Amino acid sequence: MEALGCGNSISIPVSSHKPASAASSSSSAQLPARRRTIIFTAVASYLRLFPIQSAIAQQPDETQQEEDRVVRLFQETSPSVVFIKDLEIIKNPQNTDEVVMVDDEKARVEGTGSGFIWDKFGHIVTNYHVVEKLATDQLGRQICKVFLVDRYGNSLSRDGKIIGVDPSSDLAVLKVDVEGVEVKPVDIGSTRKLNVGQSCYAIGNPYGYENTLTTGVVSGLGREIPSPNGGAIRGAIQTDAAINSGNSGGPLLDSHGHVIGVNTATFTRKGI
């Protein structure tokens, strides 16, 4: 644009009082110089613009930056998420869907879920409905296996023992033995300033696929959902991040990787 501007400006005569012949001669003599001036100005303008364009091209891509941030969030928080298997000791393994060996006994997989490490002492937070059979077991046939990793990524499994339950809020606390093991507890966030539209992330084990990340936004606040004991859980967070069977008990995270909720239910046209 600068070159075009110079080109327009030099078309105006420098002096109008010269004789016609002199003016004509002067114009003819100066025309190549003016053309050179236009060309030089255009090149100079391009050279001034080129470093700016190069700097723009060198700026990190915003999409790549966002993807890198989500990757880091998952890498930093997934070691705090555990996989829970509910098992029933059985004497007759016939006509069962899945049978595993536990302490030299045969057990049937009753269900799976997720949870997260609350502290360095091995307390695990999950949903009550994930461990409900263990909590109400009167015959001593129910056991709970918790699969986790230590801070260095080494996999291990432990028996989970119920410390406390609250069916009215669909929450339970398990305890696993982590003596000699360094685990990575979650960071706890706050919902006080949470707004609809903020990004959120769910980590869990849907359908038994461990360490699955889904992303979405906070779709609504202050929702009400039914609890396992028939009451109502108020103040629930609604999100469009995919939460499927096996995600229950896993953490819902904010953009800083802090826990803002426990994944509990999925609503469909047919209900929960």
Convert the pLDDT of each residue in 151-174 to its tens digit: 899 999 999 999 999 999 999 999
pLDDT digits (tens, 9 = 90+) for 93-148: 555 555 555 554 678 888 899 999 999 999 999 999 999 999 998 888 889 999 99
The architecture that CATH gives domain 79-175 is: Beta Barrel (2.40)
Would you say 263 and 249 are in contact if contact means Cβ atoms under 8 Å apart? yes
Q: How many CB atoms lie within 10 A of CB 140?
A: 7
CATH code given to domain 187-262: 2.40.10.10
What is the arithmetic mean of pLDDT over 21-47?
A: 49
Annotated catalytic residue within 129, 169, 227, 254? 129
Annotated catalytic residue within 78, 80, 114, 248? 248
Q: Do domains 79-175 and 187-262 have the same CATH topology?
A: yes
pLDDT, position 42: 53
Residue 46 clears pLDDT 70, i.e. is over it: no
* Euclidean distance between CA atoms 113 and 206, whole angstroms: 8
Nearest alpha-carbon partner for 131 in 89, 173, 186, 103: 173
What's the N-to-C CA distance of the chain in angstroms?
63
Q: HSE on the CB side for 21, CA within 13 Å?
A: 0
| Domain ranges across the chain | 2-8+16-58, 79-175, 187-262
| For the chain, percent of residues with pLDDT exceeding 70 | 69
Per mean pLDDT, which range of 7-16, 100-109, 238-247 is the poorest?
7-16
Contact partners, residue 48, CB within 8 Å, separation at least 6: none
Residue 129 falls in the annotated catalytic set: yes
What is the arithmetic mean of pLDDT over 175-203?
A: 95
Q: Say if strands 105-117 and 99-102 run parallel, antiparallel, or are unpaired.
A: antiparallel
The DSSP 8-state label assigned to residue 137 in this structure reads -
Would you say 206 and 79 are in contact if contact means Cβ atoms under 8 Å apart? no
Confidence of residue 58 (pLDDT cuts 50, 70, 90): low
Residue 170 falls in the annotated catalytic set: yes
pLDDT, position 246: 86
pLDDT, position 199: 96
Would you say 114 and 205 are in contact if contact means Cβ atoms under 8 Å apart? yes
If one compares 15 and 250, the residue with the highest pLDDT of the two is: 250
Annotated catalytic residue within 78, 80, 169, 170? 170
What is the arithmetic mean of pLDDT over 220-247?
A: 90
